Structure 1
Amino acid sequence: MIRQGFADRPRARACVAWSIAILSAGQVFFTGRLEAGQPRRPDSPVARGRALFLRVWTPDDPRARGGDGLGPVFNERSCVACHNLGGVGGAGSRSKNVDILTITKNAPTAQGRDVDKARSESASALPPADDIEAMAMIHSGFAASQSLVLHRFGTAPNYEAWRQNVMVSDPPDRNSHAASRDDASEGNRELPESAKRGAFSLKRSQRNSTSLFGAGLIDSIPDEAIDVPPRSPGIKGRPNRLKDGRIGKFGWKAQMASLDEFVTTACSVELGLEVPGRHQAGDPLGCEREAKQFDMTRQDCDDMVAFVRSLPTPIVRTPANALGRKLFETIGCAACHVPKLGEVEGIYSDLMLHDLGERLQDTGGYGTFTPSRPSREDPLGSSLVRDEPKTEGAARTQPRTSAGELEWRTPPLWGVRDSAPYMHDGRAATLEAAIDLHGAEGHEAAERFRLLSNTQQGQLIRFLQSLAAPRKATSLASSR
């Protein structure tokens, strides 16, 4: 009777509810505030994926499910090491750029413009068998691709010395190591941009890590929303239609059609992990270390993709500069950097390939070396298509990408405030410098920007700077 009477009194019930609320609040206070962007359920796919994204891998890692862990070659030891600007999952600094090595046959008899033409033809033609053998002596991966990843690190003790020697001209050029620094950390010594090795020329280029914020929404955009006629005269953008018919959405060349492919490829290429459907890169020194087991299971990959898919969408900081946005549209930037694509608002990209001119010319596509596998499977998957073998060469196929050397996917501008440096290799430190580099299809918009007054240019830049990383993204400091 006493309990029943107490429960019947509204005031008493309110006091009990208030007490429970205070106790709950106190428990949250004393156990620590839940980090922004951190999943509430520690056993959820997103939570498990987040742990994998932050994991620092080691060679022969005991957490590698029986695989060989990190390596034998890799560019970093964790995903977050290259994706942290503006928070966990953001873009990467220029110091984390991926090195790409491209080989071409020298044309000693050509002169002037004929040199460029000969090199271009050499790059597109299938090398004869003797050349393939000679190229493979420089890097084993050249037996399958004329452009490949030159990984920053390797588990072999002499990998760093080998990596430095790849870009030493033959005979040695006194200036070939002018850009190197004795005090540079292992794997981060700046290599020359070019070198000559016998009858061949080597060129080093780079790729900057892209932001992953909003990647889940990009993955949801249907192909038909991308494959549309040009939105403005003089703009000839096209979707990167992959070999299997799907349209690429991810990567600087739009070489990946799905977020799953993009994430799992990064695990195999950048971390050297063996994952389902993606072989880890091999050791070009010839030290076979083929993984006997997967380093990450299919469930691990699904969890990682779930985490990346859950990353928050970039925001527009208030007050947004309305005049700057109007100028952005008026001078023609919005012809490629479309504000809305499909049902995704604020992306500022059409995800198409556009010719940006010779100043941004670079290798089209690239692969990685996977030894002892006759099929020479490329971890870049559907981004690489193959030409039919030429009769004068060996019975092999030449990987290439459907994106040309002048073509680049329009990078989404959401979050651009917190994703410097800009362009595919991070060569532009500022937004103004990035705009100035636009040529060919982007030339007219860049020229109109130059003709704006200083005040108008400032308004447009302030508009772009309002496109920021999500506020609720977990900071790198709070993740450690």
Structure 2
Amino acid sequence: MKILALSMWLLLIAVTAASSSDEVVAADPICRADSPEWMKFERGRQLFLKEWSRKEGFGAVRYDPHLDHTTNSCSTCHNYPRGTAGSGGNSAGYGGLGRNTPHLFGVGNLEAISEHIRASVMAKYSSNGKFIDKSALTGERIVIEAMPGVLVDFGSLSQRPDGLLDIDPSFVVWFVDKEGRPLPSMDEAGAHRNIGSADVAGFNLFHGFPGWAVSDHQYPSIRMFVLGAWKTIFGLPFADALTKPVSSGEVWAGRSVGGRRQLTIESIEQVGNIIGPNSSDADAIEHFLQNHPSPARRAVTPEILRGEASMYEMGCTSCHTPSWRVPAAADVRFAEWSVELDQFNNLSKVRIGKPAGESRVIEGIFSDLRYHDLGDRFREYTWIDGHLAVRTKFKTPPLWGVSSTAPYGHDGLSQTLDAVIRRHGGEADASARSYAAANEADRDALLRFLESLSLFSINQAIEFKCSSKVSKARIQP
């Protein structure tokens, strides 16, 4: 039980009664806090909370002059509730613009959805399994089914006037030659390559799930997100054998212990006598975040149910997609959490079981994981390389846990849920108008529903109910 003393996280293990049909024997790793799975989970949590010192490599490397040495711990930004991969404050960005820190509760489920989205696109449009040939550019819409009858449009397989693809910017795209090898963005003549370039046979892509804005920490996996922070924010030297490029121009690396395909990433492995984190550290944080619990809901009341119905009636769910179904292959977790909260957002019941090993529905996420233009009140104007840049599109934030993440908006400029809803325009203008025109009781019900979507502290004594099946994500009173 040493791991519990280290973390101050008291895991009181209790096995369900033998009369239960979904009984898991006490010897099962999920029922033992000292099992390798839980020990690795806790090690990853400690690395997430760790403050890297100068002697350990913090600030030893300058990768990005704009971001280097911003902080020395993941928990500096992701710190609420304390001890979790939660939300955080508003940090300054370029030109003094704020950037609100999103929480990472349920990020393993986001990763699973993102992997499913890419796999669906490749299965439908890649004839060789390696890349998508440019002959597939027929103008067809890239539509992914989140749930039966719930479709999400990620743009079209067509060429824009600038020669790039008219695909949602949640996808990171690169051109490839006929062997599937990545091509530099510039050709030998110094011109930008586009889909019509003679040496371009097609393109490859991944769906990036972290980040608020285009190119803002867009990665296909949790591990890459962590390595990116170590590199650009912590300025750490690190050695990850899995993602180290073997040859120049290589994009894809292998799959991690956590089951996700990774990108290659250049890094400095050692500075003098300083050796930073390694592959084992990356494995542990990846494991912790993949198995981190998702947000929970407080006890459901008639008013909360009325507010949830209003989400549909006002058109909010056209972007805030409530749930996603993912295949069994996308589920790499070793544990599944079901959490009930009391009226004060304290844990009233926790049940942890083994994933069922079949396709499942990730309920209550409320995001289509794509980008939208929400109008003038969300736009950002800044200078990049001496040019005025306007950022017009932002990714739909998942609403689970939203009551714990004020202020709101990617920039944190909206202090209340009511304010951020009224701020919506552009593609969400009709929904915002519907909300504003609704009677006060309906608006209040919608706000009560959003306030029921909460993060929670895990730094308290909790009872693990060992079960092979867990209750659905909807929390009942």
Tell me the TM-score normalized by structure 1.
0.54
Deviations 1:278-312 (A, max 9, x none): 548xxxxxxxx967765111111111111111211
* 2:78 and 2:101 in contact (8 A); partners too: yes
Structure 2: where are the runs of 5+ without partners?
Answer: 14-29, 122-141, 156-166, 175-204, 241-264, 326-360, 461-477
2:398 matched to 1:412? yes
Structure 2 residue 219 is matched with structure 1 residue 256: yes
Matched, 1:349 2:349: no
Deviations 1:411-431 (A, max 9, x none): 100111111111111111111
1:277-316 equivalent positions in 2, closer than 5 A: 277=265, 279=267, 294-316=275-297
Q: 1:58 aligns with which of 33, 53, 56?
A: 53
Once the two structures are TM-superposed, the CA of residue 324 in structure 1 deviates from its matched residue by 0.4
- After superposing the two structures, state which structure 1 stretch, 266-275 or 346-355, moved more: 266-275
Q: Is the 8 A contact 2:144 2:153 kept in 1?
A: no
Q: Offset at 1:266? A: 1.8
Distance 1:299 1:206, change over 3 A: same
Partner of 2:191: none
Partner of 1:46: 41
Which residue among 454, 457, 468 is the counterpart of 1:468? 454
Contact 2:322 2:367 in 1 (8 A): yes
Which one has a larger percent helix, Structure 1 or Structure 2?
1
SS at match of 2:168: coil
Match of 1:272 among 231, 235, 242: 235
Tell me if the contact between 2:144 and 2:152 (Cα under 8 Å) persists in the aligned partners: no
Q: Say which SS state the counterpart of residue 316 (structure 1) adopts.
A: strand
Structure 2 counterpart of 1:242, from 165, 168, 172: 172
- C-alpha separation in 1, matches of 2:109 and 2:422: 29
- Shift in Å, 1:269: 2.3
**CA 1:357–1:32 in structure 2 vs 1: closer, same or farther (change >3 Å)?**
closer
Please tell me whether the aligned partners of residues 235 and 441 of structure 1 are also in contact (alpha carbons under 8 angstroms): no
Deviation at 1:466, TM superposition (A): 0.9
Is the contact between residue 143 and residue 154 of structure 2 (CA under 8 Å) also seen in structure 1? Answer: no
Measured after TM superposition, the shift of residue 209 of structure 1 is 1.4
CA distance in 1, matches of 2:284, 2:224: 13
The CA deviation at 1:263 is 1.8
Distance 1:259 1:234 in 2: 24
Question: 1:301 & 1:278 partners in 2: Cα distance?
Answer: 15
Matches of 1:33 and 1:204, distance apart in 2: 38
- Contact 2:59 2:235 (8 Å CA) reproduced: no
SS in 2 for 1:445: helix
Write the letter of the residue equivalent to 1:355.
Answer: D
1:46 and 1:242 map into 2 onto residues whose CA distance is 30
TM superposition shift of 1:85: 1.9
Residue in 1 that maps onto 2:143 = 228
Matched with 2:298 is 317
The alpha carbon displacement at 1:319 in A equals 1.5
Q: How does 1:7-18 map to 2 (within 5 A)?
A: none
Q: Distance in 2 between matches of 1:352 and 1:293?
A: 40
Contact between 1:67 and 1:292, CA under 8 Å: does it hold in 2? Answer: no
Q: 1:428 to 1:204 in 2, by over 3 A?
A: same
Q: Matches of residues 340-419 of structure 1 in structure 2 within 5 Å? A: 340-342=323-325, 343-362=361-380, 405-419=391-405
Shift of 1:333: 0.5
- Match in the other structure for 2:88: 92
**Does the CA-based 8 Å contact 1:70-1:271 persist in structure 2?**
no
**Residue 434 of structure 2 is aligned to residue 451 of structure 1:** no
The separation in 1 between residues aligned to 2:154 and 2:456, in whole angstroms, is 31
State the 1:215 CA deviation. Answer: 0.4
Counterpart residue type for residue 98 of structure 2: Q
Is the contact between residue 60 and residue 69 of structure 1 (CA under 8 Å) also seen in structure 2?
A: no
- Deviations along 1:100-146, one digit per CA (max 9) or x if unpaired, are 33xxxxxxxxxxxxxxxxxxxxxxxxxxxxxxxxxxxxxxxxxxxxx
Q: Give the distance between the partners of 2:438 and 2:405, measured in 1 at CA.
A: 25
Q: Comparing 411-420 with 244-253, which one deviates more in the overlay?
A: 244-253
The one-letter code matched in structure 2 to 1:362 is E
Residue 318 of structure 2 corresponds to 335
* Distance in 2 separating the partners of 1:299 and 1:290: 19
* Matching residue's letter, 1:301: A
Equivalences, count: 299
1:54 CA drift (Å): 1.2
Contact 1:314–1:414 (CA<8 Å) still a contact in 2? yes
Q: Is contact 1:67-1:295 (8 Å) kept?
A: no
Greater Cα shift, 203-212 or 424-433: 203-212
Match of 1:408, SS? Answer: strand
Q: Give the TM-score, by structure 2 length.
A: 0.55
Relative distance call for 1:271 and 1:430 in structure 2 (3 A) is same
Task: Summarize deviations over 1:432-453 as a string: whole Å, max 9, x none.
Answer: 1111221101111111111111
Structure 1: unaligned runs, 5 residues or longer = 1-23, 102-202, 281-288, 367-397, 476-480
Residue equivalent to 2:26: none
The one-letter code sitting in structure 2 at the alignment partner of 1:431 is L
CA contact (8 A) 1:417 1:465 kept: yes
Counterpart residue identity of residue 260, structure 1: R
Q: State the match for 1:121 in structure 2.
A: none
* CA deviation map 1:41-89 (0-9, x unaligned): 386322221111111222123xx5x994999942223211211223411
Distance (whole Å) between structure 2 residues aligned to residue 291 and residue 358 of structure 1: 49
Q: Give me the whole-angstrom Cα distance separating, in 2, the residues matched to 1:214 and 1:364.
A: 32
> Whose radius of gyration is greater, 1 or 2?
1
2:423 corresponding residue in structure 1: 437
Aligned partner letter, 2:223:
D
Aligned 8 A contact 2:206 2:220 in 1: yes
2:70 aligned residue: 75
